[in-house]
Structure 1
Amino acid sequence: MNFSNTPSFISHGPRPGLRLTLAVAASVALLVGDARLGLMGPAREALSVALYPLQWLVNAPISAAQHASEFFVDQARLKQENAALKTRELQLSAKLAELTTVKNELAELKAMHALRSQRAEKSVLAEVLYTGRDPFSYKLIIDKGQNAGLVEGQPVVGDSGLIGQVTRVQPLTAEVTLVINKGQMVPVMVERTGVRAILYGYGGGVELRYLPVHADLKAGDTLVTSGIDGVYPAGLPVSRVTHVERRAGAAFLSASSLPVDGVYRQRFVLALETGANRPPVTQPQP
């Protein structure tokens, strides 16, 4: 059977005008049905599900590029913020340290003012500039000297008690030898009992020597200046006894003592005029 001359359906179908009319009518029917009855909703949902992988593949490179750009931008911003926060932290730490120092100095000045008002002797308030150059000689350099009327021999006190004695005076500064310096001697007495003794500096600390073994002394006793030498006024705290040992057959007891805290940490001191015009303690020989 020969099909080559058989006319197709398209060539013998409806006329173009009729086909246009049918297409328009079908479109209007679908529009009305979708608007009124939602006939095309399931079809659109099915089509969106079928096309979602294709949409994702098309958008994936663009989304990846956006995320990468946002990541690097966020990293740069975080680094800048972190650097700014570290700088701010350092600035605040410096300010806090400065405020702490000022607060401590103010508290010390208040304590020195209170001590100055309590003492009957005239005194000169001075600031510690630096320690002596020799680490084995415990000395301080203060910012008052002949200009403030200081003379050799004046006792120097802190807010906790006696810390030393003026041993050298310059026009604008003065040298203070601490009680813990080797060779320094301070006449003291036990505040609790009135027992007198001599407190010796041995280079970094103080100790009691030649106190009879039967003397009334125990750990916790405070040693204050006795005032019998005419250099140091009576009643200034010097040290506190930490340990007492009485050995059988020994003529003298062994006692350990710690100087007042101000010897190590004092920033401001008072030079009392009680010891003025009196010779200072003899300087130890090297």
Structure 2
Amino acid sequence: MAFWHIPHAIMQATQPTFFKQGPKPLTRVLIFSTLSVALIVGDAYNHLLGRVREQISIALYPLQWLATAPTNAVIEASSFLQRQSELISENRQLNDARLIAQGQEMRLKALEKENAHLRALRVASENNPRQSQLTQILYNGRDPFGAKLIVDLGQRSGVTEGQIALDASGVVGQVIRVQPMTSEVRLISDRDHMVPVVVGRNQLRTVVYGAGRQNPLEVRNMAPNVDIQVGDVLLTSGIDGVYPAGLPVAKVTKVERSAGTAFARIQCQTLAAIDQHRFLLLLNAPAPLPPYPEATPAPKAKGH
């Protein structure tokens, strides 16, 4: 029996004085209930605990912040990622719209230039006494070393070999081969092409030769003291019966005169934009020239 009384004695020794000597449990319930009701009524009518709550809320704010920080961080991170995704999508849409607008602007500018070129061709056609046809360039010739173009008019359109191709600024070349639906035009820059011309300033007759695509034209076999200057404009002379007289061909860009050489070195730049436009004019074939006079036989010597 002594052993059973030892734990009870220890529990009595460790219990607070209030529980050992305080009022009974029912009394304590009544006391605290009355106090609670009094505080509730007093706070409801007189706000007795307002300042106490404020102080308690200030003291508990760090704990509340720590408790809600992970949730708020997740919400903010999710919102940030969503905004980033929306911004990326909007930026992509704006870039696509910008590229489309730039492409449309480039096409519009190209159409404006093409329309201006077509208007200039129409004016050139009206000012030229010969009738002409508007043709479109399809592609370059197959020979990479030549300077030729393929156009979309051929025999069915009445095109014949020898017709002159030109743009609003000057001579482009000459038709050298005709197919039913297309024709081949040799540019004046081709190595095998030459054009009889006159210097517009003094009517000096000469011939301008092609030197290959992207290379300047050349006036050959002229003496060093020839009256040709930089800036002179070369016009077709018309003496060959192919090119009508007065068409602009080239402008002199370089004249080298050396006492040690037999000929001056003269280079020219084509006036026509032979590598820039898609449309050309084909002048109708000229009327044939009178035939060359027949050579008269030499008179026979007397006594034979």
TM-score interval (norm. to shorter): 0.7 to 0.9
1:32 is aligned to 45
1:283 is aligned to none
Give the gaps of 5 or more residues in structure 1: 279-286
Aligned residues: 271
2:168 is aligned to 159
Tell me the alpha carbon deviations over residues 151-195 of structure 1, each in whole angstroms, 9 at most, x when there is no partner: 111111012100100111111111100111112110111112222
- For residue 14 of structure 1, report the CA deviation from its aligned partner: 7.5
Distance 1:15 1:245 in 2: 127
Work out whether 1:96 is the aligned partner of 2:105: yes
Identify which of 247, 259, 262 aligns with 1:248. 259
Distance 1:165 1:208 in 2: 19
CA contact (8 A) 1:189 1:223 kept: yes
Distance 1:257 1:218 in 2: 11
- Structure 1-normalised TM-score? 0.84
Aligned residue type for 1:94: G
| Structure 1 vs Structure 2 CA RMSD | 2.7
2:292 is aligned to none
Q: Return the structure number with greater relative CO, CA threshold 8 A, min gap 6.
A: 1
Aligned residue type for 2:120: A
Distance 2:282 2:31 in 1: 124
SS in 2 for 1:107: helix
Distance 1:15 1:79 in 2: 67
Identity across matched positions, percent: 41
1:111 is aligned to 120
Distance 1:9 1:217 in 2: 134
Change (3 A) 1:42 1:138: same
CA contact (8 A) 2:134 2:282 kept: yes
2:224 is aligned to 213
Change (3 A) 1:22 1:134: closer
Change (3 A) 1:100 1:19: closer
Distance 2:58 2:90 in 1: 44
2:284 is aligned to 273
Distance 2:259 2:169 in 1: 36
CA contact (8 A) 1:153 1:277 kept: no
Work out whether 1:144 is the aligned partner of 2:153: yes
Identify which of 205, 226, 237 aligns with 1:226. 237
Give the gaps of 5 or more residues in structure 2: 1-12, 290-304
Of 167-176 and 101-110, more deviation after overlay is shown by 101-110
Distance 2:193 2:187 in 1: 8
- For residue 24 of structure 1, report the CA deviation from its aligned partner: 3.6
Change (3 A) 1:14 1:184: closer
Tell me the alpha carbon deviations over residues 237-278 of structure 1, each in whole angstroms, 9 at most, x when there is no partner: 111111111112544221121112411213111111244668
Identify which of 237, 244, 269 aligns with 1:258. 269
Change (3 A) 1:62 1:99: same
CA contact (8 A) 1:140 1:176 kept: yes
CA contact (8 A) 1:188 1:199 kept: yes
Distance 1:169 1:15 in 2: 123
1:44 is aligned to 53
Aligned residue type for 2:248: P
Change (3 A) 1:68 1:20: closer
1:284 is aligned to none
Distance 1:173 1:115 in 2: 23
**Structure with bigger gyration radius:** 2
Distance 1:276 1:233 in 2: 11
2:65 is aligned to 56
Work out whether 1:80 is the aligned partner of 2:93: no
Change (3 A) 1:150 1:15: closer
Distance 1:276 1:63 in 2: 93
Distance 1:10 1:261 in 2: 121
Aligned residue type for 2:268: S
CA contact (8 A) 2:249 2:272 kept: no
SS in 1 for 2:274: helix
Change (3 A) 1:17 1:54: closer
2:246 is aligned to 235
Aligned residue type for 1:207: E
- For residue 26 of structure 1, report the CA deviation from its aligned partner: 4.4
SS in 2 for 1:263: coil
Distance 1:70 1:7 in 2: 59
- For residue 16 of structure 1, report the CA deviation from its aligned partner: 7.0
Change (3 A) 1:15 1:44: closer
